[in-house]
Structure 1
Amino acid sequence: MSDVLVISGSPSRTSKTERVGAELTRRITESGRAAEQLRLRALPAEPLLGADTDDPEVAAAVQQVAAADGIVLATPVYKAAYSGLLKTFLDLLPQFGFGGKAVLPLATGGSTAHVLALDYGLRPVVHSLGARHVVQSFFLLDKHLTITADRVEISAESAVPLQDVLAQFDKALDGVPHDAVLGRTA
């Protein structure tokens, strides 16, 4: 059984991205895998910004990454880039901090003009951290998200393709080769 860590890179307490992360954590858990959410905004700012991996809370977060088999990176897109909070955290991970892991990059934003922030900004960093398998990135438009109490509802326009991406991620966690995950055969 694989353990999944959903990392929420939003600095906002009322973030749609964080609620999407919580929803994905719930779905992954319901599928039978162990999953938990790491909210980067809850880490102490000074040690995080100073890359102080000796700080107990920062060290625990880094250990959560090390222990996970799969990582979901959930980030809002600001100014055509993933969040600085997520960048700060990724920068303090060891060189091959995602070694042997399946990774799903996911972003939320107001316009499809920001979709490439995932592939041109985040994906190269994930590869440099040694991810075994990076599944298809997924971008959720803010207009496809409705906040109800502490949950988020995802419109059908995004819910169906998101479910497909989660299925790819699930196969990647099981070690299914990349081409097979994408439905390609040799």
Structure 2
Amino acid sequence: MRTAVVAGNPKPASRTLDAATRLATELGGGPPDRVLDVITLGAGLLGWGDEAVSDAVRSVAATDLVVVASPTFKATYSGVLKLFLDQFETGEGLRDVVAVPLMLGAGPAHALAPDLLLKPVLVELGAITPAPGLYLRDGGYATDGSIGEYVGRWGGVLKGAAGA
């Protein structure tokens, strides 16, 4: 199973990237094949035709399972992630890719954001989303067991859908 991480945080090497990499590692049984810290694509995200952005889009579209992660900004996903997702063709860009929406936040107020806000855009791009999204508290995700619990509950469904 080919796995990828897409982390759309305006801060490079963020907790969002770390949490998504941890989740993808547990789901895939090893490090993800592709880890994309979207902010590193820079100004190429602001238009179409940038080669580095196009390569990133192709590499994500060629995976079986992708964890798409964002911090919670103004109760939704980040603009940086939106700029990257806009590069995918509607309905086809993530066709046959199993996607896991992941969002981090400071408190429980936005716990439904991955399912209400991020999952619909992934589905619009053609992704398969057979499990609920995951919302993590950014202050405790590394030690609170939430990632392991999620993988224990939904890992089989996700791997099955990805054809693993």
Question: Which of 72, 78, 93 is equivalent to 1:77?
Answer: 72
Task: State the match for 2:149 in structure 1.
Answer: 161
TM-score by length of 2: 0.87
Higher radius of gyration, 1 or 2: 1
Give the distance between the partners of 1:72 and 1:26, measured in 2 at CA: 10
Task: State the match for 2:19 in structure 1.
Answer: 20
SS in 1 for 2:101: strand
RMSD (CA atoms):
2.0
Shift of 1:136: 1.4
Structure 1 segments unaligned to the other structure (5+ residues):
146-152, 176-186
Give the distance between the partners of 1:4 and 1:118, measured in 2 at CA: 19
SS in 2 for 1:82: coil
Q: Relative contact order, CA 8 A, sep 6+: which one is greater?
A: 2
Give the distance between the partners of 2:84 and 2:72, measured in 1 at CA: 16
Structure 1 contact 25–37 (Cα < 8 Å) conserved: no
Task: State the match for 1:171 in structure 2.
Answer: 160
Amino acid at match of 2:23: L
Distance 1:107 1:23, change over 3 A: same
Give the distance between the partners of 2:139 and 2:57, measured in 1 at CA: 33
Amino acid at match of 1:120: L
Task: State the match for 2:109 in structure 1.
Answer: 113
Structure 2 segments unaligned to the other structure (5+ residues):
none
Structure 2 contact 21–31 (Cα < 8 Å) conserved: no
Give the distance between the partners of 2:32 and 2:108, measured in 1 at CA: 32
Give the distance between the partners of 2:31 and 2:158, measured in 1 at CA: 12
Give the distance between the partners of 2:128 and 2:27, measured in 1 at CA: 19
**Identical amino acids, percent of aligned pairs:** 33
TM-score by length of 1: 0.78
> Could you report, residue by residue, the CA deviation over 1:102-139 in whole angstroms, capped at 9, with x for unpaired residues?
11111111111112221221111111111234421111
> Could you report, residue by residue, the CA deviation over 1:130-171 in whole angstroms, capped at 9, with x for unpaired residues?
1234421111112323xxxxxxx3313x14422223343222
